[in-house]
Structure 1
Amino acid sequence: MIDWMLEQWMQIVGFGTGAVCVLLATRRNIWNYPVGIANNIVFLVVFLPAGLYAAAALQVLYLVLGVHGWLRWTRGVEHDSGYIARTPHRAVPGLIAAGLALTAVLVWVLTSFTDSQVALADAATTAGSMVAQYMLNRKWLETWFVWIAVDIAFVALSIATGLWVIAALYALFVGLCVHGWRAWRRVEQSQGVAPAAAVSPVPA
């Protein structure tokens, strides 16, 4: 057991920081961002040797989005811990288009310049994660549905590439995301949220 833990310690650290990050996000706690950045660094080291190049690149993109979210949660309307919004209807086509475009670009990069054997799955989960993270930064309730779908896909992808600890982590994420949706939904019901169509224009 000790030998296994020493061999898999990076995955275990990623497990712990990832779980704490998601738990803090469910509580709308801004500390989810610095913990998330630490998690990104750990996962970058884990994913590269496994050939999950898009997932590794995802960690770098997460750092950028982490800064964006940190700023939104400290300086934007999202700084109010009781603030929850619905995804504006007009934002949905853009989110879908961004996800599909990023998936296509990543598939091309992975098939053209790497030896990835799971290019489409790697690219699609990466793109979905980017969309979900942006929605989380804006405190849009539906972010949790996107995260649940992405995490289920990551469970299968991690198993396929032999990252069993990471697979267990993403399985845990699914449960935490369900908890997050319920927690945010309770806040919405207790304080009220403007209908999506009535929400002000979407800034970056």
Structure 2
Amino acid sequence: MLEPLYEFWTAAAGGSPLEWVAVLTGFACVWLAAREVIWNFPVAIFSCALYIVVYYRQDLYADSLLQIMFIGLSVYGWYEWLYGGRSRTELHVSRTTRPEWLLCAVFIPAFTAGFGYYLAHYTKDSVPYWDSLTTAGSLAAQFLLMRKRLENWWLWVVVDIIYVPILWSKQLYPTSALYALYLGLAVYGYLQWHRAYQRQQAAELQAA
């Protein structure tokens, strides 16, 4: 019973210091996002910068590229959360619109097929289409998160479920464990944001 757990911790302890710092800051940024704390964005930028190197070393090129995109999206999301509301006020939690769902429904399979083909034929990426799928799903989820759409957490749940075995197979054990924790944080984030959305709706009804 204890042997598999011992083997996991032994392997995890062998993770590079760079990966461990990326893991801890990655957990912190998702926790802050779930709590609607604006500082999730600078922490995310730092964590993503570290993961560019971590993923590249493991031949996960789409995920390495994803971190660069996340840095850009985090800068924009930082601005949006501060000034994206009405009359350049703080942005509040809202529901995903139909055009946004349509955009995600077109973008995810198109990106997965196109970039997956490129990785399969022109790189040594070991899991090109899975790598591309998680990248596409993460970009869509991050897009919704920076707009403070409640349903971004649904996409993160799906992405995290896929990431766990991929990262485990690449022997990125601390990061694989992190994505398992992200599952719980995604559920927590949804519940927190849903309560905030309900309070907001109630306040708007009273004001009307």
Answer whether TM exceeds 0.5 for this pair.
yes
Structure 1 equivalent of residue 20 of structure 2: 12
Structure 1 equivalent of residue 3 of structure 2: none
1:67 to 63, 71, 75: 75
Alpha carbons 2:15, 2:173 under 8 Å: kept:
no
Report the 3-state secondary structure (helix = DSSP H, G, I; strand = E; otherwise coil) of the residue aligned with 1:22.
helix
The more displaced of 103-112 and 146-155 is: 103-112
The more displaced of 172-181 and 108-117 is: 108-117
Is 1:96 aligned to 2:128, yes or no?
no
1:21 to 26, 29, 33: 29
- Per-residue CA shift, 1:117-174, capped at 9, x if unaligned? 2001100000000000000000000000000100111101101211111100000111
Q: Give 1:6 shift.
A: 7.1
RMSD over aligned CA atoms reads 2.0
Is 1:146 aligned to 2:155, yes or no?
yes
Is 1:80 aligned to 2:90, yes or no?
yes
1:30 to 15, 38, 42: 38
CA distance in 1, matches of 2:193, 2:83: 20
2:60 to 42, 52, 56: 52
Structure 2 equivalent of residue 181 of structure 1: 190
Q: Give 1:8 shift.
A: 2.0
Q: Aligned letter for 1:70?
A: W
The more displaced of 135-144 and 84-93 is: 84-93
Q: Give 1:188 shift.
A: 1.3
Structure 2 equivalent of residue 125 of structure 1: 134
Q: Report 1 or 2 for greater relative contact order, CA contacts < 8 Å, sequence distance ≥ 6.
A: 1
Q: Give 1:108 shift.
A: 2.0
Structure 2 equivalent of residue 202 of structure 1: none
CA distance in 2, matches of 1:101, 1:37: 27
CA distance in 1, matches of 2:175, 2:30: 14
TM-score after normalising by structure 2 = 0.86
Alpha carbons 2:77, 2:147 under 8 Å: kept:
yes
In terms of fraction of residues, the more helix-rich structure is 2
TM-score after normalising by structure 1 = 0.88
1:121/1:3 Cα in 2 relative to 1: closer, same or farther (>3 Å)?
Answer: closer
Q: Give 1:29 shift.
A: 1.1
Structure 1 equivalent of residue 5 of structure 2: none
List gaps (5 residues or longer) in structure 2. Answer: 1-8, 203-208
Is 1:111 aligned to 2:120, yes or no?
yes
Q: Aligned letter for 2:107?
A: A
Alpha carbons 2:12, 2:173 under 8 Å: kept:
no
CA distance in 2, matches of 1:84, 1:44: 30
List gaps (5 residues or longer) in structure 1. Answer: 194-204
CA distance in 2, matches of 1:133, 1:188: 19
Structure with larger Rg: 2
- Per-residue CA shift, 1:87-131, capped at 9, x if unaligned? 012221111111122212211221122111200110000000000
